[in-house]
Structure 1
Amino acid sequence: MAKHNIAVLAGDGIGPEVMAEAIRVLDTVANKFNHQFTYTHALAGGAAYDEYQDHLPQATIDICKNNDAILFGSVGGPVHLQHEAKWANCEAKSILALRKAFNFNINLRKMTIFPEIASLSPLKPELLKNGLDIVIFRELLGDVYFGEHTLSEKDGKRYAFDSGAYDEDQVKSIVQYAFNVAKTRGKKIVSVDKANVMAMSKLWRQVANEVAKEHPEIEYSDMLVDNCAMQIIKNPAQFDVIVTSNLFGDILSDELSVLSGSLGMMPSASFSNSGFALYEPAGGSAPDIAGKNIANPIAQILSAAMMLAYSFNLHQEASAINNAVKAAIVAGYRTGDLASGQAGEKIVGTKEFTDQVICNI
């Protein structure tokens, strides 16, 4: 029997309701495979501000420290209320602050497209006839996001300056992790940079090539970021694992997220060098549909599956969840965002879709 303690930060908007469904799925797995998952709930985002006047109170950080992993929902409020203290810079002060507090330097996003819902994708159907399963690794604590930023005047003209930096240890940490994951998948990895122009990218490519030599069993290649952005649209099936820097990873992972046709399909994880991790859906809090039982719970459920695999080494259990979600989709069950109007679709609510996942487990 495996015993694991999980910090649960449901957050705002649809966060609490999709989190409740993910926990139902985890409890089903625990019962089937004879495990014990203990949940400690904590507040983040607007929900935390209501009680603490702080988007990430120390009490929440302490709870996270005392658990084996963090299962995060989503934070943020309505666009028209962003001027209010409760919602102003809510994400930066909660999830970004949490990443900084635990030195989460590696972000993983997993994009899966099932052939049964390929019609939702903006890509041509022939590009998706076999589905897609791509993992992208993004470095989180370097690059221009953490450099110097200046907006001023110079020689009587408006002037802007941004700087970014990497050292070889930062690059090696994420590239090595990506190679280890590639071993468990299709043994193929692409490192993305802009080494024909940028010094940061020249270092990135040097280190990535050094790590590649340690893993001769992995098919490795370099790709310039502009070409990669094009290839993701032109021939996405060529990719299995992508690893790249903070700025490029931010852009490319968002590009990948669009391919599935719904942000409700994309789970993600953030890791520290110690192995401690946070798991969250890639989408937002969607306050306009909160509480209506119409939110797509798949990304939150798949984030929980990633937690089982990556933090708890429960790969069979993670596969059971992934296969159960796929089976529900193959059987025609859809939340509203996945509806395409095709014959045989069964449009259901958040809870009802999860019911099907649980039955399949």
Structure 2
Amino acid sequence: MQAVIAVLPGDGIGPEVVAEGVKVLQAVAARFGHTFTLREGLIGGCAIDATGEPLPAETVALCRASDAILLGAVGGPKWDDPQARVRPEQGLLGIRKALGLFANLRPVTVHPRLIGASPLRPERLQGVDLIVVRELTGGIYFGEKRRERGPDGEWASDLCLYTEAEVVRVVRVAGQLARRRRGKLTLVDKANVLETSRLWRSITTRLVREEFADLEFETMLVDACAMHLIRRPTDFDVIVTENMFGDILTDEASMLAGSMGMLPSASLAEGRLGLYEPIHGSAPDIAGQGKANPLATILSVAMLLRHSLDLPEEAACVEAAVATVIDRGIVTADIATPGQVIATTTAVGDAVAAVIAG
């Protein structure tokens, strides 16, 4: 296979973890006889420094001309002023909107060797295997924002807006995914308070009845879900929810796996185009020190191979290599057990690539 992959290293630890993801892509290409053409672009703070904008038009064009996108992370203290005209996060929101990346898939599994890295009791983590499907281009993050001064002082508002079409298309992705997994779909909302959540619930309930009647289906309020993710995480299979709820719940769920450094994600458009990134941020406090865990990025590469390039065997090979490296104890500090030798970012990537190469 020949494929063009856009590589957006971003800020902070982004370039470090993306370098290990690229290393793994090259190992896969060599083992399976593929040709991956990698083309680098700017996004986030580094793009602001170079061009004045967090998402240059050249980056959007590069991504549109590619089969898939690998992203590191954006942001850092240098660009943290919330009053600034341009901010790194605008690049992230902008690329999602520009490419129509409406469905964000965030799988959460727990490697047996890493159970001790989680703050939860071990018995609650055995068999955790869930995936959150988060709507990514609508809701409060993209709604109209206002901030003004009135007779009672300053006031602000953020509009949370969803259309039926936006809900239907992401629920269809979640339903099809649940059908390929264990057949259970959980809608998370706040329908006792929010009108947008009541829209989500009515549309999802109807769609499940009409198209996914074979699935086990439940609805759950977001606050209850936040509790049950910790109390009984093995009960979940596929969770579908709106943009902000999905953002918060998946950060919480990262503690099941022991570290944000273990969780990959895929942001999918209609068709096969997708953007793949770890769920963690740019972690500027450890940038350049070789401490960043590259496994979430490497597992994002596996998702890229599976969803955008339709290479399931290669994806499984990467996932198996990650499991092997963890079993061998070649891990960064965030998932190391007391007394364990700590590996660098590069050493972990080298180890995964070596396993793939055989």
TM over 0.5: yes
Once the two structures are TM-superposed, the CA of residue 22 in structure 1 deviates from its matched residue by 0.9
Residue by residue over 1:233-266, the C-alpha shift from the partner in whole angstroms, topping out at 9 and shown as x without a partner, is: 1101111110001121122122112332311111
Once the two structures are TM-superposed, the CA of residue 64 in structure 1 deviates from its matched residue by 0.9
1:164 aligns with 2:163: no
Contact 2:145–2:158 at 8 Å: present in 1 too? yes
1:135 aligns with 2:128: no
- Which residue in the other structure is 1:180 paired with? 176
- Which residue in the other structure is 1:355 paired with? 350
1:115 aligns with 2:127: no
Contact 1:5–1:39 at 8 Å: present in 2 too? yes
Residue by residue over 1:70-91, the C-alpha shift from the partner in whole angstroms, topping out at 9 and shown as x without a partner, is: 11111222x2663499x97533
Q: Equivalents in 2 of 1:284, 1:247: separation in Å? A: 16
- Which residue in the other structure is 1:305 paired with? 302
Q: Secondary structure at the match of 1:37?
A: strand
The residue identity in structure 1 corresponding to 2:355 is N
Contact 2:102–2:268 at 8 Å: present in 1 too? yes
Structure 2's unaligned 5+ residue stretches are none
- Among residues 295, 313, 321, which one is paired with 2:318 in the alignment? 321
Aligned pairs for 1:60-79 within 5 A: 60-77=59-76, 79=77
Contact 1:75–1:90 at 8 Å: present in 2 too? no
TM-score, length basis structure 2: 0.92
1:96 aligns with 2:123: no
Q: Secondary structure at the match of 1:337?
A: helix
- Which residue in the other structure is 1:27 paired with? 26
Q: Equivalents in 2 of 1:9, 1:80: separation in Å? A: 19
Q: Closer, same or farther in 2 for the Cα pair 1:347/1:172, shift >3 Å?
A: same
Once the two structures are TM-superposed, the CA of residue 119 in structure 1 deviates from its matched residue by 1.4
Contact 1:143–1:164 at 8 Å: present in 2 too? yes
Q: Equivalents in 2 of 1:316, 1:305: separation in Å? A: 10
Contact 1:82–1:88 at 8 Å: present in 2 too? no
- Which residue in the other structure is 1:247 paired with? 244
TM-score, length basis structure 1: 0.91
The residue identity in structure 1 corresponding to 2:10 is G
The residue identity in structure 1 corresponding to 2:354 is C
The residue identity in structure 2 corresponding to 1:315 is P
Once the two structures are TM-superposed, the CA of residue 99 in structure 1 deviates from its matched residue by 1.2
Residue by residue over 1:11-70, the C-alpha shift from the partner in whole angstroms, topping out at 9 and shown as x without a partner, is: 122211211111111111112222221111112222223332222211111111111111
Segment of structure 1 superposing worse, 154-163 or 303-312: 154-163
- Which residue in the other structure is 2:292 paired with? 295
Q: Equivalents in 1 of 2:280, 2:86: separation in Å? A: 17
1:209 aligns with 2:209: no
Once the two structures are TM-superposed, the CA of residue 187 in structure 1 deviates from its matched residue by 2.0
Aligned pairs for 1:324-339 within 5 A: 324-339=321-336
Structure 1's unaligned 5+ residue stretches are none
Once the two structures are TM-superposed, the CA of residue 9 in structure 1 deviates from its matched residue by 0.6
- Among residues 252, 263, 266, which one is paired with 2:263 in the alignment? 266
Q: Equivalents in 1 of 2:81, 2:190: separation in Å? A: 37
Q: Secondary structure at the match of 2:254?
A: helix
Q: Secondary structure at the match of 1:76?
A: coil
- Which residue in the other structure is 2:190 paired with? 194
Give me the identity figure in percent: 44
